[in-house]
């Protein structure tokens, strides 16, 4: 719908500025689902998962090869896992995942490519994803596991409303904290 703003320039002249609010506006940071047919999407996630500054904190092992990564994606998305890419000023900057649906819980995970670390994008990604999850979580609690010594991740999760519930030791002897999103 078109609109107008009247600005009083001086006592004699009133200027009418017309504007159109149907010009498409694109936010500079947004989420979109990964497109498995888009090699750049697949390669970005592979590069991020394999990066030492990311791989050291992930719960599973990084993919051994691009083929293994592609096979893993095909076996999971979208049947049991949703993956979103964070697009910042036109560039792929991170990814987040929603997976392991049970009756009571759904798990999430986040990673920002180290080129974009400490710019607030992890926080922005979580704030974009959490309302998305609301559409299909159907009463499930949103949970995640994180190593307690992963300071940026812990700060991020607590900032967006996750609360620590318990800790456990995984099969490799690594301590993991379980966080739950407070409603």
Ligand X SMILES: CC(C)(COP(=O)(O)OP(=O)(O)OC[C@H]1O[C@@H](n2cnc3c(N)ncnc32)[C@H](O)[C@@H]1OP(=O)(O)O)[C@@H](O)C(=O)NCCC(=O)NCCS
Name the residue nearer to ligand X (CB basis): 120 or 134. 120
Burial class of residue 139, CB neighbours in 10 A (0-12, 13-18, 19+): exposed
Site string for ligand X, 81-120 (x = CB under 6 A): ----------------------------xxxx----xxxx
Name the residue nearer to ligand X (CB basis): 14 or 152. 152
- Region of 30-38, 65-73, 121-129, 130-138 interacting with ligand X (CB under 6 A): 121-129
- Does the protein bind ligand X through residue 148 (CB under 6 A)? no
Give residues with Cβ within 8 angstroms of 144, minimum separation 6.
Answer: 107, 108, 109, 157, 162, 178, 179
User: Residues 23 to 62: which contact ligand X by CB under 6 A?
Assistant: 54, 57
DSSP state of 59: S
Q: Map residue 166 onto helix, strand or coil.
A: strand
Residues that bind ligand X (CB under 6 A): 54, 57, 109-112, 117-123, 146, 150-153, 155-156, 159
């Amino acid at each position: 719908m078109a609109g107008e703003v009247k600005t009083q320039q001086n006592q004699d002249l009133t200027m009418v500025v017309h504007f159109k609010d149907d010009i498409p506006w694109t936010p500079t940071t947004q989420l979109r689902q990964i497109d498995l047919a888009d090699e750049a999407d697949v390669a970005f996630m592979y590069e991020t998962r394999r990066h030492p500054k990311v791989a050291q904190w992930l719960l599973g092992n990084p993919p051994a090869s691009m083929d293994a990564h592609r096979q893993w994606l095909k076996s999971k998305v979208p049947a049991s896992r949703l993956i979103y890419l964070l697009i910042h000023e036109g560039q792929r900057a991170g990814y987040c995942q929603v997976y392991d649906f049970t009756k009571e819980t759904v798990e999430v995970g986040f990673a920002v490519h180290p080129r974009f670390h400490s710019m607030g994008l992890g926080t922005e990604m979580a704030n974009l994803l959490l309302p998305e999850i609301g559409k299909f979580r159907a009463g499930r609690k949103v949970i995640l596991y994180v190593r307690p010594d992963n300071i940026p991740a812990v700060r991020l999760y607590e900032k967006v409303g996750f609360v620590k519930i318990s800790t456990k030791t995984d099969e490799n002897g690594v301590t993991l904290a379980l966080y739950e999103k407070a409603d």
